[in-house]
């Protein structure tokens, strides 16, 4: 029965490419279907009230008793509905936010600044090097101020586009240089703010190949609307090729 | 000459420099009207710019991104503070609250008058933000730091932001003073026999919202002062160490005073969520009375509704974190806030069921005040039902800061709120002026507004599901999927224009009815609550002997017994 409504609501949503996505879409569709049904019923009740010019001929006592029984049983039904919502949503929240990322997850740092996203891969040593604000110089190719003289920072790769292999979990380290930004990938059904002074973790598994827009969802200044980039999900083989190429470039640049 | 001066000063003293609650109420209505006019014009500019971005505004020129964000910020601030707070929480109680509890005076009349003048100064300071160098702030009505804490973070974040903060700090002070007066009045000024359980639900609603106002606005005042400190006096409450804005290091170099932007979010939403209830509780108090009056049926579940108001007020302080699911707050806190938010849906649902239960048997007299209460109820349901979706942290992770949320709060707070304000004005107009407003114009105003408001805000649910984020002046960039929602965007803009134009019918109706309206009999709605009592009742201090909503056939002659009638109940 609610399937029809779910189908109605889903085409409005951008293509869903994450492993946790279909479950979330199903739950959202189910919620919307139930609540839309309640909306329609309540509006019909009001319309009936308006159209019925002569009141129902019930005695006041009859009405009081029935309304009490009806109201209390409906309130119990609503309690059950809200409890169901809380529990089912908690199950998804548990997977996406309460559980830690798998130790094998690909580590990528996401940095927001007015008005761009940067993505840092740790390089062959699998370690992020330190950063220093005094070294920040986008024109010279170091927008994040990575300390290139440090052995851990020497091989870090900084990219303006997020490239990820399909089927592997990724652990994002979110931070911001200046003001609060919102890291939002509609196609992956994920959103988390990038807060200056904090490093926040967000993990997910991209599943379907393709390009997905990355937006800023928290107003951050005049360039907020153009703070957009792309997530490109590629096959593991392609990803290996891409990252090796970037590592080679980086090694050439530091030497 | 002297006589004319005396007459003029008489007018000024009676209606402007006054401590008379009813005159203050009228002044508050004018302040609200000024704010809603500016706020609506801003929203029309916003909608027009979204659909025709290249079109230059007459006398202004092309709209830049900073102009767009400034308009959004000022629209939100004006509407939430100066319309949806001032009118239900200050104008209406000044007009009728003392009478409803059987008195003609406030407990603290001078304090009450002072808060009006503070509100007025706050309004002027806020509007001044448009005229300072670089214009109004761009950080939205929530003003998240560091964007709001660092003047070089964007245009408007300098002098404009200072105006905003000063205005809001003044507003907080005025709100707390006004709420103290309302609390003192309800506690001490009730007529003999006006027990707690004989108070109209409007008085209960104002009681609860005043109790909410004092802590909520005190916390916002503190937060504003802290942010003013960060901007001007070198404190770092909200600026983290090493913060690097616009090519400059603005945070301390290292660990001294580890400020956190999240502190502002907590303080702001600790105010911001109760604020939603401060603006909608008066409507929830007004609804049962108007339904009872126009269906001539008593309010069966008076106690349930009274307890629901109290429960909503209490839970209102426990749910602020549901604005922060994706803010970086501990995800376990997200779970807790999610469950409490679903719990607050229970008393709201109980209220709605109680109202629907009184309405659906029918036989109501469809006068304009009732129509607008039905509209309030319709929007309250349409906006309220999306609340439980947003209360689930996992679903909100997708919907947060999309137009789904914009649609949600515009339906439940803005439209439901404004429709209840219209209901109140249509209902109390005869009490204040001795004339009725025109019914035909009222019906036209209602039906067009209803359709246009749904046309404006309901499609936002769909654009939000498509992922459309807030605060985007234009939908450009790599996101091609947004092309599908452009027709909806255009429809929203046309509906918004229609909605705004329809309000001219209302203004014309008010203006015309002031001078030419059909003269109204005393207590023309045959209401039971005490604001409709004759003057002699207030002079005689007769004890109140009955509840506020005694409707229903009780004899041959009349189907209601007003609260001021002292004849014993015929059972």
DSSP string, B217-275: HHHHHHHHHHHHHHHHS---SS--TT-EETTEE-S-SSSSS---HHHHHHHHHHHHHHH
The DSSP code sequence of B439-486 is HHHHHHHHHHHHHHHHHHHTHHHHHHHTTPBTT-SS--SS--GGGGGH
- Does any CB of chain A come closer than 8 Å to the CB of residue B393? yes
pLDDT of residue A1: 41
pLDDT of residue A84: 94
Helices marked H in chain A: 3-9, 21-51, 60-93, 151-154, 236-254
Beta carbons of B157 and B147 less than 8 angstroms apart: yes
Q: What residues of A are in contact with residue B140 (Cβ under 8 Å)? A: 219
Kind plus residue range of the DSSP H or E element containing A117: strand A116-121
Q: What residues of A are in contact with residue B389 (Cβ under 8 Å)? A: 28, 31-32, 35
pLDDT of residue A4: 47
Task: Return the residue of B nearest to A93 by Cα.
Answer: B394
- The three-state secondary structure class of A18 is strand
Task: Return the residue of A nearest to B149 by Cα.
Answer: A179
- Does any CB of chain A come closer than 8 Å to the CB of residue B263? no
% of chain A surpassing 70 pLDDT: 91
Phi first, then psi: what are they for B114, rounded to 5°?
A: -60, -40
| Distances B102 to A82, B23, B188, B207, B530 between C-alpha atoms, Å | 41, 18, 11, 15, 6
pLDDT of residue A159: 94
Q: Do B356 and A46 touch (CB under 8 A)?
A: yes
ipTM, two decimals: 0.93
pLDDT of residue B481: 62
pLDDT in tens, chain B (571 residues): 445 555 556 777 777 778 899 999 999 999 999 999 999 999 999 999 988 888 888 888 888 889 999 999 999 999 999 999 999 999 999 999 999 999 999 999 999 999 999 999 999 999 999 999 999 999 999 999 999 999 999 998 999 999 999 999 999 999 999 999 999 999 999 999 999 999 999 999 999 999 999 999 999 999 999 999 999 998 889 999 888 998 888 887 655 667 899 999 999 999 999 999 999 999 999 999 999 999 888 887 888 889 999 999 999 999 999 999 999 999 999 999 999 999 999 999 988 988 888 888 878 889 999 999 999 999 999 999 999 999 999 999 999 999 999 999 999 999 999 999 999 999 999 999 999 999 999 999 999 999 999 999 999 999 899 888 999 888 776 566 677 788 888 999 999 999 999 999 999 999 999 999 999 999 999 999 999 999 989 888 888 988 899 887 665 567 888 888 876 544 4
**A70 CA: distance to closest CA in chain B (Å):** 9
**A249 CA: distance to closest CA in chain B (Å):** 27
Q: Do B357 and A71 touch (CB under 8 A)?
A: yes
Kind plus residue range of the DSSP H or E element containing B40: helix B21-51
The DSSP code sequence of B311-374 is HHHHHTTS-GGGG-TTTT--HHHHHHHHHHHHHHHHHHHHHHHHHHHHHTT------HHHHHHH
Neighbour tally for B55: CB within 10 Å:
11
Kind plus residue range of the DSSP H or E element containing A204: strand A200-204
Interface mutation target, options B161, B260, B326, B477, chain A, most CBs of A under 10 Å: B326
Q: Do B240 and A197 touch (CB under 8 A)?
A: yes
A148-184 tens-digit pLDDT: 999 999 899 999 999 999 999 999 999 999 999 999 9
Q: What residues of B are in contact with residue A90 (Cβ under 8 Å)? A: 335, 338-339, 394
Of B327, B462, B471, the CB nearest to A224: B471
**Among the listed residues A97, A88, A189, A199, the one whose alpha carbon sits nearest the alpha carbon of residue B402:** A189
Beta carbons of A216 and A224 less than 8 angstroms apart: yes
CA distance B553 to B297: 9
Task: Return the residue of B nearest to A176 by Cα.
Answer: B243
The residue count of chain A comes to: 255
Q: Do B462 and A217 touch (CB under 8 A)?
A: no
Residues 6+ positions from B459 with CB-CB distance below 8 Å: B407, B488, B491, B492
Residues 6+ positions from A141 with CB-CB distance below 8 Å: A253
Residues 6+ positions from B63 with CB-CB distance below 8 Å: B45, B49, B53, B56, B57, B473
A33-44 tens-digit pLDDT: 999 999 999 999
Is B546 or A1 the better-scoring residue by pLDDT?
A: B546
A204-251 tens-digit pLDDT: 999 999 999 999 999 999 999 989 999 999 999 999 999 999 999 888
The DSSP code sequence of A137-186 is BTTTTBTT-B-TTSHHHHT-EEESSEEEETTS-EEEEEEESSS-EEEEEG
**A153 CA: distance to closest CA in chain B (Å):** 19
Q: Looking at residue B80, what DSSP letter applies?
A: I
3-state DSSP helix/strand/coil percent for chain B, to nearest 5?
Answer: 65, 0, 30
**A115 CA: distance to closest CA in chain B (Å):** 10
**Among the listed residues B204, B215, B213, B207, the one whose alpha carbon sits nearest the alpha carbon of residue B183:** B207
B259 burial level (CB within 10 Å; 0-12, 13-18, 19+):
buried
Task: Return the residue of A nearest to B475 by Cα.
Answer: A225
Q: Do B300 and A68 touch (CB under 8 A)?
A: yes
Omega before B339 within 30 of 0, i.e. cis:
no
Neighbour tally for B153: CB within 10 Å:
26
Give mean pLDDT, residues A99-118: 94
CA distance B228 to B278: 25
Q: What residues of B are in contact with residue A23 (Cβ under 8 Å)? A: none
pLDDT of residue B571: 43
Task: Return the residue of B nearest to A138 by Cα.
Answer: B247
Nearest-Å Rg of the Cα atoms of chain A is 25
pLDDT at residue A80 is higher than 50: yes
Beta carbons of A232 and A164 less than 8 angstroms apart: yes
**Among the listed residues B450, B147, B550, the one whose alpha carbon sits nearest the alpha carbon of residue A43:** B450
């Amino acid at each position: 029965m609610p399937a029809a409504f779910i189908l109605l609501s889903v085409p409005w949503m951008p293509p869903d490419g994450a492993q946790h996505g279909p479950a979330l879409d199903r739950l959202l569709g189910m919620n919307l279907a139930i609540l839309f049904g309640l909306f329609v019923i309540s509006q019909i009740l009001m319309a009936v009230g308006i159209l019925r010019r002569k009141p129902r001929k019930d005695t006041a006592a009859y009405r009081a008793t029935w309304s009490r029984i009806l109201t209390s049983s409906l309130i119990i039904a609503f309690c059950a509905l809200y409890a169901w919502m809380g529990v089912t949503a908690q199950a998804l929240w548990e997977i996406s936010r309460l559980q830690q990322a798998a130790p094998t997850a690909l580590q990528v740092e996401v940095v927001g600044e007015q008005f761009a996203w940067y993505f840092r891969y740790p390089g062959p040593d699998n370690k992020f090097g330190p950063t220093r604000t005094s070294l920040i110089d986008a024109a010279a190719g170091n927008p994040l101020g990575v300390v290139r003289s440090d052995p851990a920072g020497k091989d870090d790769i900084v990219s303006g586009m997020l490239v990820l292999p399909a089927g592997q979990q990724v652990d994002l380290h979110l931070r911001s240089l200046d003001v609060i930004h919102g890291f939002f990938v509609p196609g992956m059904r994920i959103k988390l703010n990038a807060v200056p002074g904090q490093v926040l973790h967000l993990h997910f598994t991209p599943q379907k190949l393709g390009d997905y827009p990355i937006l800023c969802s928290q107003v951050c200044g005049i360039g907020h609307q153009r703070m957009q980039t792309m997530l490109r999900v590629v096959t593991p083989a392609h990803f290996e090729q891409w990252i090796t190429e970037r590592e080679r470039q980086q090694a050439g640049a530091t030497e | 000459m002297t006589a004319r001066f005396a007459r003029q000063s008489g007018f000024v003293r009676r209606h402007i420099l006054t401590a008379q609650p009813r005159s203050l109420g009228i002044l508050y209505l004018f302040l609200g009207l000024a704010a809603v006019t500016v706020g609506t014009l801003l929203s029309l500019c916003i909608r027009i710019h979204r659909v025709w971005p290249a079109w230059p505004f007459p006398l202004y020129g092309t709209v830049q991104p900073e102009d767009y964000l400034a308009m959004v910020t000022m629209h939100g601030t004006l509407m939430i503070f100066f319309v949806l707070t001032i009118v239900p929480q200050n104008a209406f109680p000044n007009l009728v609250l003392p009478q409803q509890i059987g008195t003609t005076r406030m407990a603290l009349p001078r304090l009450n008058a002072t808060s009006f003048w503070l509100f007025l100064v706050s309004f002027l300071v806020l509007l001044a933000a448009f005229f300072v160098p670089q214009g109004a702030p761009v950080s939205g009505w929530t003003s998240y730091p560091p964007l709001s804490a660092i003047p070089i973070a964007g245009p408007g974040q300098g002098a404009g932001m200072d105006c905003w903060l000063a205005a809001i700090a003044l507003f907080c002070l005025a709100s707390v003073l006004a709420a103290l007066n309302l609390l003192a009045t309800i506690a001490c000024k009730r007529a003999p026999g006006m027990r707690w359980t004989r108070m109209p639900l409007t008085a209960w609603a104002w009681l609860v919202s005043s109790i909410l106002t004092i802590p909520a606005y005190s916390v916002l005042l503190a937060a504003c002062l802290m942010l003013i400190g960060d901007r001007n006096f070198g404190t770092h409450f909200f600026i983290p160490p090493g913060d690097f804005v616009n090519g400059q290091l603005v945070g301390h170099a290292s660990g001294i005073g580890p400020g956190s932007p999240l502190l502002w979010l907590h303080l702001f939403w600790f105010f911001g969520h109760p604020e939603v209830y401060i603006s909608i509780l008066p409507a929830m108090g007004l609804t049962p009375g108007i339904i009872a009056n126009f269906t001539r049926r008593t309010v069966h579940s008076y106690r349930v509704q009274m307890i629901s108001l109290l429960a909503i007020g209490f839970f209102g302080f426990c749910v602020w974190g549901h604005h922060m699911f994706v803010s970086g707050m501990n995800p376990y806190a997200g779970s807790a806030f999610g469950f409490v938010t679903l719990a607050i849906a229970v008393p709201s649902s109980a209220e709605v069921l109680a109202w629907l239960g009184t309405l659906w048997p029918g036989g109501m007299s469809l006068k304009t005040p009732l129509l607008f209460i039905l509209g309030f109820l319709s929007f309250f349901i349409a906006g309220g039902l999306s609340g439980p979706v947003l209360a689930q942290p996992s679903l909100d992770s997708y919907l947060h800061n999309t137009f789904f949320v914009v649609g949600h709060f515009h339906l439940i707070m803005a439209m439901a709120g404004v429709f209840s304000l219209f209901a109140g004005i249509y209902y109390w107009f005869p009490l204040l002026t001795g004339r009725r407003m025109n019914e035909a114009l009222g019906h036209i105003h209602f039906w067009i507004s209803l359709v246009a408001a749904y046309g404006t805000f309901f499609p936002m649910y769909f654009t939000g599901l498509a992922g459309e984020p807030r605060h985007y002046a234009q939908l450009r960039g790599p996101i091609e999927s947004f092309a599908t929602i452009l027709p909806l965007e255009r429809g929203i803009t046309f509906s918004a224009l229609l909605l705004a134009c329809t309000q001219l019918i209302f203004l014309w109706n008010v203006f015309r009815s002031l001078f030419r309206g059909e003269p109204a009999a005393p207590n023309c709605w045959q209401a039971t609550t005490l604001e409709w009592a004759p003057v002699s009742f207030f002079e005689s201090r007769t004890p109140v002997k009955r509840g506020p909503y005694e409707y229903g056939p009780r004899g041959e002659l009349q189907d209601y017994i007003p609260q001021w009638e002292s004849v014993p109940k015929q059972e």
